[in-house]
Chains A and B, each alone.
Chain A
């Protein structure tokens, strides 16, 4: 989100957002989001849309001052793997831009053009404390889904924090299906595409499109060249341990590749190797069913065990109502804390759990310098909560994105207000606003 008042005006938002204010929040139970424990009596200073300082006490700077009254103040939630803003209603295909079954393009598809800041899930998730989201396209007809974006959930028309921030690829069972029916077919598709991308990189001008017979279009080759060179990370949906090891081998073969594992249900069984390869993970936190043959070892202890092995792991929500329910990551992180009390399970302490939905997802895609923590220089995404943000039912009382205070209402709160008393009173419900 740009802080320029004029830009917002030109974009034509119905509710014109205020410009970024300089804000100091004092008397906070301050959560930095970097994995550390909350700090009592903390202060955070936002100036020019960025965090200037955050810590215990601290001088009150100019601008607006808010006394948090001892309540939790945290960085905004970074939803780790979502399809927020690209789908209004999953089952209504005209509102669903996640995948393109009939397109000849794949890796080149850029999800940024689909992001609609007015999609209702944006406001609903913002109301629950989500300020940034990693947004991935879905695949169809290729292992490559296209280029994902990082967005903010602000109430304005400029949602893109970083377009073309990564490439997303399906691997394992779904990759095999997309490639024609087997894992070797997926591997062949992957290797061939990267070879083509290398050819493109050597001489883009000579990379002639070869019509319908081409296995990679110019657009796709260009996008994959960015993957090959390590300009952007490659997010890979992979669940089975053997497939994860295959990804690690892939990284050794293609030196520039920056893989990020998504899902990774069996990651804990090969956690040492993942850590040694320095490959980060956006894991599904509470998957604990052998939902497929590639998830036989799934357990809610997956994240706790990977973290204990030294893996950089944040929470992602692939295949988990990620177009609408990214807001559930707080509940998931809270459940990881619950596991720390269960014999035989591996959980996280509170600070580490919060980091899985703030700094760690940002870190997996190399954006920890921008978002995910209240560290000087980061975006001014700050939430004041009415309770423990990992506890069920806690909600923001005030929320800032890039230092701009955001509305905390949405279509659902409007419906609620209309129907708190269900029967009509005087006029039809259609007149009650």
Chain B
């Protein structure tokens, strides 16, 4: 077993669900200074920087409300205060001060905004016409060089639905799963912008979308090229990682020692970012046996899988996933649409959680993203029937802090903790009830949806002047 220094750093730096690779650096980062530009400085790692700015908000105090804080805490008849875009205080009783808007939350709930770790909004926007099909660069099994953000159409009407019906304030947009290495993901604030950059979550690490199983082998096998089998999938992956390690070594050496700069390769930049812990691996994978193989491959090659996505058979290896500190992002009840989804069960997330493995809900769907709270409610119910009691406040971690960790943004959002972004949803009832909807949604303290005020409802350019413009959708 090859254990690189990078792997040691990863093992030391990452526990459980933690996906914040920002602190993890290439081994050479600690090397003595040479004549090179310095570790990580050989080229720009952020050429499309976020221009997101929080919109202005008013200091707001919600009182007398049931609070799930997103980290497992609950306060009944409590209060939440936020100001200047940040959570100020969460407690049983908070005194209102001058200039603060007070909202009586009697009979209502407050939670952190929902975080969807798996979306294709913007990359597969509505309307789903061919001209909008921008989520899968299906021209080669390894396209680590593509970045999902370069496909994001910021006018996708789906962003509005996710906000107003779903209470989603942060989402990761991933490339599709046709390819073994489908490209970089991007994490967005769910706030409409004129540009993708204006939606980009400041400081969020990139992800690398990988895929195992049926999709890559079907797509390329049908074109008469490798991979056409699961073993072909792994072979292409490993060969690619070997190249990436060589690239990483060359650039590490150059950045420290100087000399002629190695030839840039945009795909290899991304894989180097993974090896250096800067970029988090989000791996589409269904079957338990394949996930176990991928985890060994990651260990062999010196990287870490942050989360398996879909992961319908994670429940079969919950103990292995826990031991490796790999998260699972799953649906509540999807099954049977293809062979590798045949063994899906409704208790997947709950079994993972009970085993102590990191787990969260995800949508992968422009409709499902509008009801992730209801998807978790399904998990709670099926878990209860199977004898696994889950409290609602704990279940909210599957919608908030756990996906925040998998995205590496848990220091700044994902729970109602003082100092964090005021990404907040006021629900008009129990958010795990089918009868409940968001009443107000704030992002960074700015009120961006109000069910009681038609002016505070986003309408994308596409819907302007169309039938149903501005309707309650």
Contact = CB atoms under 8 A, between A and B. Distances in A.
Interface of A: 88-92, 120-121, 124, 241, 266, 269, 286-293, 295-301, 321, 323-325, 331, 334-335, 337-339, 341-345, 390-395, 412, 415-416, 419-420, 422-423, 429
A419 B347 CA distance: 10
A391 B434 contact: yes
A338 B337 CA distance: 29
A90 B338 contact: yes
Contacts of A422: 315-319, 351, 355
29 contacts: A89-B336, A89-B338, A92-B338, A241-B467, A286-B367, A289-B126, A290-B127, A290-B463, A292-B127, A293-B129, A297-B467, A298-B473, A299-B471, A301-B471, A301-B472, A321-B334, A321-B337, A324-B337, A331-B434, A339-B437, A339-B472, A341-B437, A343-B472, A344-B472, A345-B472, A395-B381, A422-B315, A422-B318, A422-B319
Contacts of A301: 471-472
Interface in B99-132: 126-129
Given A91-B338, A92-B339, A290-B157, 4 more contacts: A124-B335, A343-B472, A393-B382, A422-B317
Given A269-B467, A341-B437, A393 B127 contact: no
Nearest to B374: A392
A299 B473 contact: yes
Interface string B430-453: 001111110000000000000110
Contact of A299 (B345, B384, B468): B468
Contacts of B472: 299-301, 339, 342-345
B462 interface: yes
B339 A412 contact: no
B128 A292 contact: yes
A290 B380 CA distance: 32
B451 A334 contact: no
Contacts of B335: 124, 324, 412
A412 B434 contact: no
A292 B345 CA distance: 32
A91 B286 CA distance: 14
A392 B468 contact: no
If over half of B's interface residues share one DSSP class (helix, strand or loop), that class is named, otherwise mixed; here it is: loop
A289 B377 contact: no
Contact of B385 (A287, A297, A395, A419): A395
Interface residues of B, number: 61
Given A92-B339, A392-B374, A412-B346, A338 B437 contact: yes
If over half of A's interface residues share one DSSP class (helix, strand or loop), that class is named, otherwise mixed; here it is: loop
A412 B382 CA distance: 11
A393 B129 contact: no
B428 A290 contact: no
B366 A289 contact: yes
A365 to B, nearest CB: 26
A75 B370 CA distance: 29
B394 interface: no
A344 B452 CA distance: 9
B55 interface: no
Instruction: Specify which of A90, A286, A321, A392 lies most central, judged by the most chain B CB atoms within 10 Å of its CB.
Output: A392
B420 interface: no
A297 B433 CA distance: 27
A151 to B, nearest CB: 18
Contacts of A269: 467-468
A334 B434 contact: yes
B266 interface: no
Contacts of B432: 392
Contact of B127 (A266, A291, A416): A291
B433 A289 contact: no
B435 A91 contact: no
A357 B363 CA distance: 25
B165 interface: yes
A335 B429 CA distance: 13
B393 interface: no
B43 interface: no
Contact of B437 (A90, A288, A298, A342): A342
Contact of B351 (A286, A321, A335, A420): A420
B423 to A, nearest CB: 22
Contacts of B355: 422
A292 B129 contact: yes
Nearest to A128: B333
